[in-house]
Structure 1
Amino acid sequence: MTDLSQSLSLSASGMRSQALRLRHVSENIANVDTPGFHRKTVSFQSEPDSGLVSTGPVRLDQSSLQKMYDPGHPMADDTGYYDGSNVDLVVEIADAREAQRSYEANLRMFDQARQMTQSLFDLLRR
């Protein structure tokens, strides 16, 4: 029984981690046009004793910001340029799709463990 409950815990930790990742991807997409915005990234790590997945610290992507030319923009310098964001929509959409698929895989594993637990309880009742 502990193996089944442990598999439920592992699946739940994976779903929590992917949900957080998807939240940061959504924030990145929402701020694609925000001047000076740095893309947020999150890393995953395995907890040594339990094998559960957790998220590491949220980091800001330090790649260079895109230079935008708009002399009428309030943040533009003397040359008419200002710093845009370093968010690439193609990368963010790919990350969102990967997070969604990973979340769904963990959800299927969670549901399978739940069904196995229910079947075990049904057998024990007989």
Structure 2
Amino acid sequence: MADIFSIVGSALDAQNTRMGVIASNLANADSVTPPGGTPYRAHEVVFQPTPLDGPNGEDADSGQIATDSSSPDAASAAPDLGVRVVGTVLSNATPAKNYNPGSPYADATGYVTGSNVSQVGQMVDLIDASNSYGAAVAVLQQAGRVDQQMLSSFEVS
């Protein structure tokens, strides 16, 4: 049960990073680029399951998952997995092109190239990240209540 805090903590960190990336994308949604420049491309967070340090998790010295195949419970002694952000990738969506021949950023054909950030898509991702964050907080709160109930069961009346 103690590992639940590590697992949920890793999820909170990952969703916090995701929300930061979304905020950066939204801040650059209306950016434009001069002709010949590279437009802003939306970043997308990449998550990876990762073993947690501990008795059933990653061996801190070797980086290998600790398993004991000679144990009868070896199959059930799977490592506790958390989540980590391994990086971001750039979206391959097409950059926006708007016809505005009077803009100083317009190319020879009168089009201004902007970012490929979909504000609607980013807001959907933000709602999803926020809901995931809220669910993780609810799990932490429930785990705390279970711990309190367990401790109170040992109280002498």
TM-score category (smaller protein): 0.7 to 0.9
CA RMSD, aligned part only? 1.5
Aligned position for 1:115:
145
> Which amino acid is the alignment partner of residue 134 of structure 2?
E
- Paired position in structure 2 for 1:45: 48
Q: Distance in 2 between matches of 1:80 and 1:123?
A: 74
Superposition deviation, residue 125 in structure 1: 4.0
Deviation by residue 1:29-85 (Cα, 9 ceiling, x = unmatched): 121101221111002111044401111211111222111222222221111112111
**1:98-113, aligned counterparts within 5 Å?**
98-113=128-143
Could you tell me which runs of 5 or more consecutive residues in structure 2 were left unpaired when the two chains were aligned: 33-38, 52-56, 58-79
Task: Give SS of 2:149's match.
Answer: helix
Paired residues of 1:46 and 1:54 also in contact (CA < 8 A): yes
TM-score norm. by structure 1 comes to 0.88
Give the greater-gyration-radius structure (CA): 2
Structure-2-length-normalised TM-score: 0.72
In the other structure, the counterpart of 1:23 is 20
Correspondence for 1:67 among 97, 105, 113: 97
SS in 2 for 1:59: strand
Partners of 1:34 and 1:85 within 8 A in 2: yes
Partner in structure 1 of residue 9 of structure 2: 12
Instruction: Give aligned pairs, total.
Output: 123
Structure (1 or 2) with the greater helix fraction: 1
Deviates more, 1:95-104 or 1:41-50: 41-50
Work out which of the residue numbers 28, 32, 37 in structure 1 matches 2:29: 32
- Tell me the percent identity: 30
Aligned-partner residue type, residue 7 of structure 1: I
| Matched residue type, 1:25 | I
Stretch deviating more after TM superposition (46-55 or 100-109): 46-55
